Structure 1
Amino acid sequence: MDDKQIVIYQLLPRLFGNKNSTNVPYGTIEQNGVGKFNDITDQALAGIASLHANYVWYTGAIAHASLTDYSAYGIKVDDADVVKGRAGSPYAIRDYYDVDPDLAVDVKNRMQEFEALVKRTHGKNLKVIIDFVPNHVARSYHSYAKPEGVADFGSNDDVTRSFSAQNDFYYVPGQPFVVPTNGLKTPLSVLQDGKFDENPAKATGNDAFTASPKYDDWYETIKLNYGIDYQNGKQNHFDPIPPVWTKMRDILIFWTKKGVDGFRCDMAEMVPIAFWNWVIPQVKQVNPDLIFLGEAYNPQVYKQYLEEGKFDYLYDKVGLYDGLKRLIRNEPSADVKDIRHVWQVESAGFGKHMLRFLENHDEERIASAGFAGKAELALPAMVVSATLGSGPVMLYFGQEVGEKGQGQEGFGGDDNRTTIFDYWGIPSHQKWMNGGLFDGQKLSSEEQKLRSWYKQLFKVTSVSDAIKNGEIYDVPQAANMNNRMYAFIRYSGKQRLLVVVNFDRHASLEANIEIPDHILKVKHSSPVTDLLTDRKLNIPAGTSIPVTLGPVSAQVIEF
Structure 2
Amino acid sequence: MAYISMKTSLQRRAVKATALALIAPLLLSCQQPSDKVVIKPAPEQEMSVSHPNGKPIVYQMFTRLFGNKNTTNKPWGTLEENGVGKFSDINDNALSALKSMGVTHVWYTGIVHHASVTDYSAYGIPADDPDVVKGRAGSPYAVRDYYNVNPDLADDPAQRLAEFEALVERTHAKGMRVIIDIVPNHVARRYASLTYPETSFGLHDNTEVAYHKDNNFYYVPGQAFDVPDIPENLTPLGGEPHALADGKFDENPAKWTGNGARAAKPDVNDWYETVKINYGVRPDGTFDFPALPDALRGKAASQHVAFWQDKDVPDSWVKFKDITQYWLDKGVDGFRYDMAEMVPVAFWSYLNSHIKIRRPDAFLLAEVYQPHLYRDYLQLGLMDSLYDKVDFYDTLKRIMQGTGATSELVTIQQQYQDIAPQLLHFLENHDEQRIASPDFAGDAEKGKPALVVSALMSASPMMLYFGQEVGEDGSEDMGFGDPTRTTIFDYAGVPAHQRWMNNGKFDGGQLTDAEKALRHYYETVMHIAATHPAATGDYVSLHQSSLSGESDYSEKQLAFARWQGDDKLIIVSNFDAENTVSLNIVLPPPLQQSWAVNSPLELTDLLTGRTLTSIYTDQQASVALSLPPLGSAVLSVTKQTSK
After TM superposition, the score normalised by the length of structure 1 is: 0.96
The counterpart of 2:273, out of the listed 216, 220, 237, is 220
1:513 corresponds to: 585
Q: Report 1:269-288 matches (<5 A).
A: 269-288=341-360
Once the 2 structures are TM-superposed, how far is the Cα of residue 545 of structure 1 from its aligned partner?
A: 1.3
**Residues 295-320 of structure 1: CA deviation (Å, up to 9, x unaligned):** 01111111111111110100000011
Native 8 Å contact 2:539 2:560 kept in 1: no
Residue 624 of structure 2 aligns to a residue whose secondary structure is: strand
Native 8 Å contact 1:485 1:509 kept in 2: no
Amino acid at match of 1:448: K
2:574 corresponds to: 502
Residue 153 of structure 1 aligns to a residue whose secondary structure is: coil
Once the 2 structures are TM-superposed, how far is the Cα of residue 541 of structure 1 from its aligned partner?
A: 5.9
Native 8 Å contact 1:366 1:378 kept in 2: yes
Once the 2 structures are TM-superposed, how far is the Cα of residue 538 of structure 1 from its aligned partner?
A: 4.4
Native 8 Å contact 1:460 1:532 kept in 2: no
- Alignment of 1:29 with 2:82, yes or no, is no
2:300 corresponds to: none
Residue 435 of structure 1 aligns to a residue whose secondary structure is: coil
Once the 2 structures are TM-superposed, how far is the Cα of residue 21 of structure 1 from its aligned partner?
A: 0.3
The counterpart of 1:160, out of the listed 196, 208, 216, is 208
Residue 512 of structure 1 aligns to a residue whose secondary structure is: strand
**Residues 395-442 of structure 1: CA deviation (Å, up to 9, x unaligned):** 10100000011121110032x000000000000000011111111110
Amino acid at match of 1:337: S
Residue 270 of structure 2 aligns to a residue whose secondary structure is: coil
Native 8 Å contact 1:6 1:53 kept in 2: yes
Q: Distance in 2 between matches of 1:151 and 1:54?
A: 33
Q: Distance in 2 between matches of 1:248 and 1:60?
A: 18
1:468 corresponds to: 536
2:176 corresponds to: 126
Residue 146 of structure 2 aligns to a residue whose secondary structure is: strand
Once the 2 structures are TM-superposed, how far is the Cα of residue 525 of structure 1 from its aligned partner?
A: 4.8
Amino acid at match of 1:353: Q
**Residues 469-507 of structure 1: CA deviation (Å, up to 9, x unaligned):** 323334322354222112111122231111111112233
Residue 118 of structure 2 aligns to a residue whose secondary structure is: coil
Between 533-542 and 304-313, the greater mean CA deviation after superposition: 533-542
Native 8 Å contact 2:114 2:143 kept in 1: yes
Q: Distance in 2 between matches of 1:401 and 1:170?
A: 44
Residue 499 of structure 1 aligns to a residue whose secondary structure is: strand
Amino acid at match of 1:432: W
Between 199-208 and 456-465, the greater mean CA deviation after superposition: 456-465
Native 8 Å contact 2:102 2:531 kept in 1: no
**Residues 25-54 of structure 1: CA deviation (Å, up to 9, x unaligned):** 000001000000011001110111111111
1:385 corresponds to: 454
1:553 corresponds to: 631
Native 8 Å contact 1:465 1:494 kept in 2: no
The counterpart of 1:309, out of the listed 378, 381, 392, is 381
Amino acid at match of 1:223: K
The counterpart of 1:38, out of the listed 88, 111, 114, is 88
Between 211-220 and 512-521, the greater mean CA deviation after superposition: 512-521
After TM superposition, the score normalised by the length of structure 2 is: 0.84
Once the 2 structures are TM-superposed, how far is the Cα of residue 179 of structure 1 from its aligned partner?
A: 0.3
Between 278-287 and 177-186, the greater mean CA deviation after superposition: 177-186
The counterpart of 1:48, out of the listed 86, 98, 110, is 98
Q: What is the root-mean-square deviation in Å for CA atoms of aligned residues? A: 1.5
Native 8 Å contact 1:284 1:290 kept in 2: yes
Q: Distance in 1 between matches of 2:454 and 2:480?
A: 31
2:610 corresponds to: 535
- Alignment of 1:180 with 2:247, yes or no, is no
Amino acid at match of 2:231: G
Q: Distance in 2 between matches of 1:68 and 1:494?
A: 57
1:235 corresponds to: 286
Q: Distance in 1 between matches of 2:542 and 2:419?
A: 17
Native 8 Å contact 1:320 1:339 kept in 2: yes
Amino acid at match of 1:226: Y
Native 8 Å contact 2:600 2:613 kept in 1: no
Amino acid at match of 2:528: V
Q: Note the residue ranges of structure 1 that are not aligned, 5 or more in a row.
A: none
What is the number of residues matched between the two proteins? 551
1:435 corresponds to: 503
Between 482-491 and 426-435, the greater mean CA deviation after superposition: 482-491
Q: Report 1:479-498 matches (<5 A).
A: 479=549, 480-498=552-570
Residue 235 of structure 1 aligns to a residue whose secondary structure is: coil
Q: Distance in 1 between matches of 2:515 and 2:81?
A: 28
2:64 corresponds to: 14
Q: Distance in 2 between matches of 1:202 and 1:295?
A: 24
1:544 corresponds to: 622
2:492 corresponds to: 424
Between 138-147 and 363-372, the greater mean CA deviation after superposition: 138-147
Once the 2 structures are TM-superposed, how far is the Cα of residue 116 of structure 1 from its aligned partner?
A: 0.1
- Alignment of 1:109 with 2:159, yes or no, is yes
Q: Note the residue ranges of structure 2 that are not aligned, 5 or more in a row.
A: 1-50, 291-311, 638-643
Amino acid at match of 2:255: K
Q: Distance in 1 between matches of 2:593 and 2:126?
A: 66
Once the 2 structures are TM-superposed, how far is the Cα of residue 273 of structure 1 from its aligned partner?
A: 0.1
Native 8 Å contact 2:601 2:614 kept in 1: yes
Q: Distance in 2 between matches of 1:494 and 1:251?
A: 45
Q: Distance in 2 between matches of 1:4 and 1:104?
A: 34
Amino acid at match of 1:126: M
Native 8 Å contact 1:178 1:212 kept in 2: yes
Q: Distance in 1 between matches of 2:505 and 2:635?
A: 36
Q: Distance in 1 between matches of 2:219 and 2:384?
A: 34
Amino acid at match of 1:400: E
Native 8 Å contact 1:55 1:129 kept in 2: yes
**Residues 139-161 of structure 1: CA deviation (Å, up to 9, x unaligned):** 111101128xx431001000010
Once the 2 structures are TM-superposed, how far is the Cα of residue 215 of structure 1 from its aligned partner?
A: 0.7
Amino acid at match of 1:257: D
